[in-house]
Chains A and B, each alone.
Chain A
Amino acid sequence: METNTAILLSMLIPAGATLSNIVLHNRANLRDTVTLIAAIATFLAVLTILINEGNGTTAPLVLFEVLPGLDLAFSVEPLGLLFAIVASGLWIVTHIYGVGYMRGNKEGHHARFFACFSFAIASVMGIAFASNMFTLFLFYEALTLSTYPLVAHKGTPEAIRGARTYLGILIGTSIGLQLVAIVWTWTLTGTLDFTKGGILEGHIAGPMVAVLLGLYAFGIGKAALMPFHRWLPAAMVAPTPVSALLHAVAVVKAGVFTMLKVGIYIFGIDFLAETGASEWLMWLAAFSVIAASVVALTKDNLKARLAYSTISQLSYITLGMALATSMGVLGGGLHIAMHAMGKITLFMCAGSIYVATHKTDISQMTGLGRIMPITFGAFLIGALSIIGLPPLGGSWSKWLLIVGAADTGQWVMIGVLMVSSLLNVAYLMPVVARGFFLGDTAGAEIKESPTLVWLPPALTAVGCVALFFYAGDIQAFLAPIVER
């Protein structure tokens, strides 16, 4: 199959799944099977691209010209391909989990749920393969809008309030800041194509570089950089599969992915390093890393704790970009995959606990680990990966980030990463410890959750281990993005 066909298919198949969900809305089994097939097909389409192109870069596939010089265009490059592989691969796992969760938990409106879910994936593919900032922005907004119904899914006043915060912050930052940044870039350079080495050099100088970077950094609200992070905890009212895929993988990763894209292909790492425009961003990201972890310590609700953990982990990636060194950027890119695998495991475990016991607070989870060993075992592995201990994937991205910080002589940043690891231990380990070691096995009626619910997190936990051994390959795969 041609690469360009595969790119289009990777967007059209999930979009088609949206339609099939609407058409087959009252034939549950058929509908969910069709979506599963679509998820697998999307993953295969992305794999085809990987086989065809490796870590090469393709010429843009221009669909049409929207404004003079501004195309709706797609192309493949290593970072985007990695993001697409992660998102489409985890879609399969999450779909299976989602079917189990939605049925096991007796949630309503399944067709609408899976329709929006599929559309969100189509948008993610558009983001991953966008060959210019304009196309990326279009799908970025499509992702925000298609996930809104998912956040508001329960329809309770609390869910609607959460969804309102979600939409308000994401749309507010993207239109209010990011759009201005994009149009500004366009007026300066006359192009928005993602170009190796950036497009801004020679068009802008002095403190304005930092201002423009600020418009991008805060405008990409999905990266949850403080102080625009409130939407993430607010979005946790969504059903857990949404939190798992969208808020551990697709939406937040779309944010940091855009951040990396802007850093690498709009500004250019060297340009950022020369001008020092990203230094303030580095400090802010470091603050986000620590502050969000501290807040996570105070949360008793498991999903809220994980949400703040996500904010902290996302800032690792922003930090990697802001270091403006190749190791930092590679570490950030690698962390997209590592954190995705680890965090989705944790979220699916949280959902699994909820399905089995309807418990959301950590303080109520005493002794549950002994009843639900698989769920809590997977949680332990995911947590260790987030903390960054070998032999789990998360250790490598943290390692690269530390190397990057050392490269630039930012010793404080090394300290920040270390302290953050300790904080990770402090807020994740008690959950496991409480589950396995504390209290007595209360409530004999509680059982391990249904197979469809515990199996996916078990699989991704295995994935966390596997990533440890393949990290070198991924790093080599990403290497071209920082080649001079």
Chain B
Amino acid sequence: METEILHHTRASFQDHLPVLVILVPFLAAPLMVLLGSRRLSWPIAFGASVAAFGIAILLLAKVIDGTEISYHIGGWAPPLGIEYRVDAANAFVLLLVTGIAAIVLPYARESIKTEVPVRHHTLFYALFLLCLTGLLGVVVTGDAFNVFVFLEISSLSTYVLIAQGSYRDKRALTAAYDYLIMGTIGATFFVIGLGLLYMATGTLNMADIAERIADQGGNRTVRAAFAFIVVGVGLKVAIYPLHLWLPNAYTYAPSAVTVFLAATATKVAVYVLLRFMFSIFQPAFLFEVNTLEFIILPFAVLAMFAASFIAIFQNDFKRMLAYSSIAQIGYILLGIGLLSEAGLTAAIVHLFNHGITKAALFMGVGIYVLRSGGSFLDDIQGLGRVMPLTSAAVVIGGLSLIGVPGTAGFISKWVLVQAALEKGWWPVALMIVASSLLAVIYVWRVIETLYTKPPASDVIAGEAPLSMLVPLWIMAIACVWFGLDTDLTIGASQTAAQGLLSGSAGMR
């Protein structure tokens, strides 16, 4: 009798995983504010993010073979109730987001001590968890309006988190303000699009919408909805001409926030884009409206070159990486624009690989800021000798950014070039490699600065604290690991791509 009960509770815990991954950080955030203890806030935040990471691993293990989990909030069946839906595509993104959060928090502890006044630390961690909640919610939900709600939760907390950088540099305030304005415009567009969709279908459940608009490709309301949603989410993704908020936000935010945002926020937005394009509007619709070939693809290529060029001329390492992020988003969009299984796989793989690569690099920058007081090339010159461990990890991250074989970035590039060649798109394949050569230039500028110039005189000698070095090295090793062992990344991405391309069949 007893064993049966035990079995029952275990099964129900397993069943609730999709909502637990959100609830854990969501409840931990107010808890630490209510407790009001500065000593407890970090352990709570860390515990919550590790728990979320554990749940994400369990979820991915369940869906990596192509199965889907549908979870009904409060037991209300969709389309009336809100549905959470986990498949390979979002379980993979969940893993990235929670994993980065769990690794960034130990790093943040030392980092924000110098960047944010102590009295704000509890609130900082609470906001961090709220931001995490929002991102996870966006990923896990199967309800279109719910996406908007969670997107706003994450965005609002992000604005505040970026503004925390103002204790180091006042420009963080204007950066946060810029992002607030542009993010809100994006959110408005997004919600207008949702409204139009609701008008056309009378439902907000993603699977339901997909089913009802399947034969409405020519409907103008649906087309307008599509346009609004792509532009709205495009702002969050930082698709090239909509990227203006990103460089300042990344540059002036506290180091730990930049690491977290760069590795997760834009990636989650890309996921939303994928979800709406493929699961709701369907690949057939995309063919019909030609958005990918005429809008996504050209802007992707533009981003790859323009942003990389701008990155070359930056004198602030952090800003250089921010522009590089915009260029890298170009690769992801390019993969989507190829509109093939190989292309989508490449996009999703790069989403993950670029996430870990940028996390490693921004962590390195944060350590330089901590030790030398700034991230300008003048500040970091010669640090290769003073801080050999940090710099070695930064070099690994840089190589992964270039796409040197043996690193995660190479795998992305390989599958992306392969996808382009498979389609017979010669020029695109050449453009991919050409733009990664631009990455060589800006990465090498940094490496030369680190190793061939003498250190500035006012640098605090010595390595970073261990609590920052370990997360940095975890990321650096991940860059190499996922460059050699791609079972997880390629496997999950392929399953996800297949699911997305099968359109509503994947949702049912």
Given contacts A66-B486, A155-B452, contact A176 B434 (CB under 8 A): yes
Partner of B430, one of A171, A180, A187: A180
Contacts of B406 in A (CB 8 A): 138, 141-142
Cβ-defined contact, B418 with A183, below 8 A: yes
Whether A280 sits at the interface, judged by CB under 8 Å, is no
Whether B440 sits at the interface, judged by CB under 8 Å, is yes
A171 to B443 CA separation, bound complex (whole angstroms)? 13
Closest to B448 in A: A160
| Shortest distance from the beta carbon of B103 to any chain A beta carbon, whole Å | 24
Cβ-defined contact, A167 with B444, below 8 A: yes
Contacts of B440 in A (CB 8 A): 167-168, 171-172, 175
Whether B227 sits at the interface, judged by CB under 8 Å, is no
Cβ-defined contact, A179 with B433, below 8 A: yes
Contacts of A64 in B (CB 8 A): 484-485
Whether B381 sits at the interface, judged by CB under 8 Å, is no
Contacts of B448 in A (CB 8 A): 160, 164
| Shortest distance from the beta carbon of A477 to any chain B beta carbon, whole Å | 30
Interface string of A138-150 (1 = CB under 8 A from B): 1001100100010
Cβ-defined contact, B437 with A186, below 8 A: no
Whether A152 sits at the interface, judged by CB under 8 Å, is yes
| Shortest distance from the beta carbon of B26 to any chain A beta carbon, whole Å | 38
Cβ-defined contact, B429 with A66, below 8 A: no
The total number of A-B Cβ pairs within 8 Å is 70
Closest to B434 in A: A176
Cβ-defined contact, A187 with B403, below 8 A: no
Cβ-defined contact, B411 with A67, below 8 A: yes
Interface string of B420-448 (1 = CB under 8 A from A): 01100000011001101100100010001
Cβ-defined contact, B415 with A180, below 8 A: no
Whether B129 sits at the interface, judged by CB under 8 Å, is no
Contacts of A183 in B (CB 8 A): 414, 417-418, 421, 429
A72 to B410 CA separation, bound complex (whole angstroms)? 14
| Shortest distance from the beta carbon of A19 to any chain B beta carbon, whole Å | 13
Cβ-defined contact, B429 with A180, below 8 A: yes
Cβ-defined contact, B484 with A180, below 8 A: no
Cβ-defined contact, B414 with A171, below 8 A: no
Whether A68 sits at the interface, judged by CB under 8 Å, is yes
Cβ-defined contact, B486 with A187, below 8 A: no
Whether B404 sits at the interface, judged by CB under 8 Å, is yes
| Shortest distance from the beta carbon of B448 to any chain A beta carbon, whole Å | 7
Cβ-defined contact, B437 with A180, below 8 A: no
Whether A470 sits at the interface, judged by CB under 8 Å, is no
Closest to A188 in B: B421
A1 to B415 CA separation, bound complex (whole angstroms)? 38
Closest to A176 in B: B433
Closest to A72 in B: B484
Whether B490 sits at the interface, judged by CB under 8 Å, is yes
A155 to B430 CA separation, bound complex (whole angstroms)? 34
Cβ-defined contact, A179 with B484, below 8 A: no
Cβ-defined contact, A152 with B452, below 8 A: yes
| Shortest distance from the beta carbon of A206 to any chain B beta carbon, whole Å | 15
A168 to B433 CA separation, bound complex (whole angstroms)? 14
Given contacts A68-B490, A168-B440, contact A180 B452 (CB under 8 A): no
Contacts of B417 in A (CB 8 A): 179-180, 183
| Shortest distance from the beta carbon of A314 to any chain B beta carbon, whole Å | 23
Contacts of B100 in A (CB 8 A): none
Whether A137 sits at the interface, judged by CB under 8 Å, is yes
Given contacts A176-B433, A176-B434, contact A187 B422 (CB under 8 A): yes
Partner of B414, one of A67, A152, A155: A67
| Shortest distance from the beta carbon of B277 to any chain A beta carbon, whole Å | 26
Contacts of B261 in A (CB 8 A): none
Cβ-defined contact, B414 with A175, below 8 A: no
Contacts of A176 in B (CB 8 A): 430, 433-434, 437
Contacts of B187 in A (CB 8 A): none
Contacts of A175 in B (CB 8 A): 402-403, 433, 436-437, 440
Partner of A137, one of B405, B452, B490: B405
Interface string of B33-63 (1 = CB under 8 A from A): 0000000000000000000000000000000
Those 7 A-B pairs whose CB atoms lie nearest each other, nearest first: A138-B405, A183-B417, A187-B421, A176-B433, A141-B405, A183-B418, A141-B404
Q: Footprint of B on A, CB under 8 Å?
A: 64, 66-68, 72, 134, 137-138, 141-142, 145, 149, 152, 155, 160, 164, 167-168, 171-172, 175-177, 179-180, 183-184, 186-187
Query: Could you jot down 12 A-B contacts, CB within 8 Å?
Result: A66-B485, A68-B490, A72-B484, A152-B452, A164-B444, A167-B440, A171-B437, A175-B403, A176-B430, A176-B434, A177-B433, A179-B414
